[in-house]
Amino acid sequence: MKLYDSPVAPNPRRVRIFLAEKGIIVPTETVDLAKLQQKEPEYAAINPLQRIPALVLDSGEILCESVAICRYFEETQPQPPLFGTGALEKARVEMWQRRAELEFFLPVAQAFRHSHPAMREMEKPQIAELAETARPRAVAFAKFLDGKLANRRFLAGDAFTIADITAFIAADFAKFARIAFPEDLVHFARWRAEVAARPSAAA
């Protein structure tokens, strides 16, 4: 088994935090995005979409997409549960994971990919207007989260889940996309600080 990783991209970090929460150690190989190694034939044969991460199983099967990789490890090692337990909780976690992905992670990524000079060779064409419209979407979702987190510890309830990982990565990566969150989002700030204090956040 091998995990193709990158220390600078947000999606691989989602998997690293998830694995750290599970206490799972997987051999890794770094793909240098700055050198466009993801576009070289060797890696493109692993993931034709040329994105990171990718997990090559012992059987030779290849899993791509960070949440799909996390789901695989959730099934192989259910404890601690990071996708919820029971029908209702699993559905709630899925709802919040989906919201965090589409309403927060995606606009942060769009703002970065369409404005940062380092992405000029990877995002063609870069569309400045898309970055400008993405930034307020990310801030609006942070405000939405602030209201929800006033009454609960984590996104989907009292337990830390994959939804928190996705939202935390988005909030952390926002600084590279030149997104600043209002200082009065006290519940959002409390949640970020609590997640950042978890040992897995350093993964």
Q: Is the pLDDT score of 176 beyond 80? A: yes
pLDDT exceeds 90 at position 32 = yes
Domain count of the fold of the chain:
2
> Is residue 130 domain-resident?
yes
| Residue 41 sits in the same domain as residue 139 | no
Domain annotation covers residue 81: no
Tell whether 191 is covered by a domain: yes
Q: Are residues 117 and 198 in the same domain?
A: yes
Percent of the chain with pLDDT over 90: 90
* Boundary-marking domain end, from 26, 53, 76: 76
Q: Which of 76, 104, 136 is the last residue of a domain?
A: 76
For 164-174, the pLDDT digits (tens) are 999 999 999 99
Q: Last residue of a domain, which of 76, 106, 136?
A: 76
3-class state of residue 76 by DSSP: helix
Q: What is the pLDDT of residue 119?
A: 80
For residues 12 and 66, the answer to whether their CB atoms sit within 8 Å is yes
Across all residues in the chain, what is the average pLDDT? 95
User: What CATH number does residue 118 fall under?
Assistant: 1.20.1050.10
Of 73-82, 119-128, 145-154, 174-183, which range is least confident?
119-128
Q: Same structural domain for residues 142 and 91?
A: yes
Q: Are 118 and 21 found together in one domain?
A: no
- 131 close to 162: Cβ distance less than 8 angstroms: no
Residues 102 and 198 in one domain: yes
Residues 146 and 172 in one domain: yes
Q: Are both 96 and 16 inside the same structural domain?
A: no
Same domain, 128 and 108: yes
Domain that holds residue 19: 2-76
